[in-house]
């Protein structure tokens, strides 16, 4: 199921050593099940909350089976729903993991479920057909934490269990940066998918941020409001960049002997900083139907370079700076609205 619900993650997970790769795979599928329940638009709020609460109970030692999830998706319409309808298969694999690994995964998937239930309730009163938008930056941070920050902490716990050279000093640094690691990747996805989310009736760009620029989320894609939209997106891009800078700190805080774990973390980070730089310079960023996407050649090149430099902190930093186009925190030139020029991918 993994390549069916996430090709990118399916490619990255192969970089991990055994048996950590299987443990992370199962954890990811559990998170994906929770996300599918929250993201299914035609499930009533009360049913979403019941299903998420039941799924949390399924994670407990001796917990129930996932029959209610199967009943909620009797005829799956896509692979995510198919995974959720067969949640018991993922749960069987979870229950077969060692006790310590189950204990490392359980609280973070449970917190994700709890947060998603609260998030769904907060937005349940939105008018049908209207745009559902986050209220302020605190809402955005909270949402990103529940869907991605929890994953950063989950991975940190599994990494610690896998490798005996993760000392208390390493662990303290990793824990401090775990949330940023997840938030940087999630914000990058939000930025590149703004137009697609708008088409689904959603805006993860907060109303507060739009209001400061003199527009509303409903006006964000209007050609006549591009100057204001530019200001809003620059704020989000800067926020994502700061989290990705912290994610770089997370990667180099891993012991150098954790080569394959470093590789697993660096690869999506390098993809994200490439994507974020492209988004910052793409004149079509907010054009419906347009995809901000790094080229396949750039993907392969990034992976090859990561294989070579992963153990060397100096080279890891240098390649990140090269992909980012400057020193830590350096802003990109904004050329989104200077006509429809194309921007070449970073070298």
- Output Rg (C-alpha) for the chain, integer angstroms: 20
Examine the domain organization and report whether 95 and 222 are in the same domain.
no
Q: At residue 242, does pLDDT exceed 90?
A: yes
Q: Please give the pLDDT value at position 340.
A: 37
Examine the domain organization and report whether 106 and 218 are in the same domain.
no
Which of the listed residues 120, 151, 185 is the one where a domain comes to its end? 120
Which of the listed residues 120, 135, 162 is the one where a domain comes to its end? 120
Which of the listed residues 120, 150, 170 is the one where a domain comes to its end? 120
| Distance of alpha carbon 56 from the chain centroid | 21
Examine the domain organization and report whether 110 and 158 are in the same domain.
no
Range of the domain at 46: 1-120
Instruction: Report the CATH number at residue 278.
Output: 1.10.600.10
Q: Is the peptide bond before 19 cis (omega within 30 degrees of 0)?
A: yes
Examine the domain organization and report whether 154 and 19 are in the same domain.
no
Per DSSP, 19 falls in state: T
**Tens of pLDDT, residues 255-306:** 998 999 999 999 999 999 999 999 999 888 888 888 888 888 998 999 999 9
Examine the domain organization and report whether 106 and 236 are in the same domain.
no
Percent of the chain with pLDDT over 70: 92
Q: At residue 247, does pLDDT exceed 90?
A: yes
- Of 211-225, 240-254, 302-316, the range with the lowest mean pLDDT is 211-225
Contact 201, 164 (CB under 8 A): no
H or E stretch including 31? helix 20-39
Q: Please give the pLDDT value at position 347.
A: 34
Q: At residue 342, does pLDDT exceed 50?
A: no
Q: At residue 341, does pLDDT exceed 50?
A: no
**Per-residue pLDDT averaged across 9-15, rounded?**
87
Rounded CA-CA distance 345/347 in Å is 6
Examine the domain organization and report whether 16 and 115 are in the same domain.
yes
Q: pLDDT band at 335, cuts 50/70/90?
A: very low
Q: What are the backbone angles phi and psi of residue 203, rounded to the nearest 5°?
A: -135, 120
What the block records as the tokens of 103 is 């204990």
Q: Please give the pLDDT value at position 346.
A: 34
Q: pLDDT band at 157, cuts 50/70/90?
A: very high
Output 333 or 134, whichever has higher pLDDT.
134
Examine the domain organization and report whether 137 and 115 are in the same domain.
no
Examine the domain organization and report whether 191 and 93 are in the same domain.
no
Contact 184, 273 (CB under 8 A): no
Contact 254, 159 (CB under 8 A): yes
Examine the domain organization and report whether 28 and 72 are in the same domain.
yes
Q: Give me the long-range contacts of 81-85 (CB less than 8 A, separation at least 24).
A: 81/36, 81/40, 82/1, 82/4, 83/1, 83/4, 83/5, 83/29, 83/32, 83/33, 83/36, 84/33, 84/36, 84/37
Output 338 or 154, whichever has higher pLDDT.
154
Mean pLDDT score of the chain: 89
**Tens of pLDDT, residues 49-100:** 999 999 999 999 999 999 999 999 999 999 999 999 999 999 999 999 999 9
Output 289 or 108, whichever has higher pLDDT.
108
**Tens of pLDDT, residues 158-173:** 999 998 777 888 899 9
Contact 132, 201 (CB under 8 A): yes
Per DSSP, the residues of 127-172 read PTTS-EE--SHHHHHHHHIIIIIHHHHHHHHHHHHH-TT--HHHHH
Q: Please give the pLDDT value at position 6.
A: 87
Examine the domain organization and report whether 8 and 63 are in the same domain.
yes
Q: Please give the pLDDT value at position 196.
A: 87
Examine the domain organization and report whether 40 and 137 are in the same domain.
no
Q: Please give the pLDDT value at position 123.
A: 66
Examine the domain organization and report whether 168 and 261 are in the same domain.
yes
Question: In the chain, how many domains are there?
Answer: 2
């Amino acid at each position: 199921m993994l390549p069916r619900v996430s090709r990118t993650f399916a490619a990255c997970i192969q970089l991990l050593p055994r048996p950590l790769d299987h443990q992370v795979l199962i954890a990811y599928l559990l998170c994906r099940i929770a996300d599918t329940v929250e993201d299914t638009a035609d499930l009533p709020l009360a049913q979403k909350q019941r299903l998420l609460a039941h799924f949390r109970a399924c994670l407990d030692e001796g917990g129930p089976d996932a029959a209610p999830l199967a009943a909620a998706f009797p005829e799956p319409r896509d692979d995510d729903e198919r995974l959720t309808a067969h949640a018991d298969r993922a749960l069987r694999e979870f229950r077969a993991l060692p006790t310590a690994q189950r204990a490392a995964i359980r609280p973070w998937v449970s917190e994700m479920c709890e947060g998603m239930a609260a998030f769904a309730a907060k937005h349940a009163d939105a008018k049908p057909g209207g745009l559902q938008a986050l209220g302020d930056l605190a809402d955005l941070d909270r949402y990103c934490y529940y869907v991605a920050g929890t994953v950063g902490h989950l991975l940190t716990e599994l990494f610690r269990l896998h490798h005996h050279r993760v000392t208390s000093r390493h662990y303290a640094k990793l824990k401090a940066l775990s949330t940023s690691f997840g938030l940087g990747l999630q914000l990058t996805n939000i930025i590149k998918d703004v137009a697609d989310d708008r088409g689904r009736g959603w805006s993860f760009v907060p109303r507060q941020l739009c209001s400061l620029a003199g527009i509303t989320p409903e006006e964000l894609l209007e050609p006549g409001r591009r100057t204001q939209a530019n200001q809003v997106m620059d704020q989000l891009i800067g926020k994502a960049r700061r989290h990705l800078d912290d994610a770089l700190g997370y990667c180099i805080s891993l012991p150098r002997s954790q080569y394959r774990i470093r590789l697993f973390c660096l690869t999506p980070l390098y993809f994200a900083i490439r994507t974020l730089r492209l988004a910052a310079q793409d004149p079509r960023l907010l054009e419906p139907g347009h995809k901000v996407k790094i080229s396949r050649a750039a993907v392969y090149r990034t992976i090859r370079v990561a294989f070579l430099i992963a153990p060397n902190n100096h080279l890891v930093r240098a390649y990140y700076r090269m992909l980012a186009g400057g020193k830590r925190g350096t802003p990109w030139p904004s050329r989104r609205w200077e006509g429809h020029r194309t921007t070449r991918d970073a070298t």
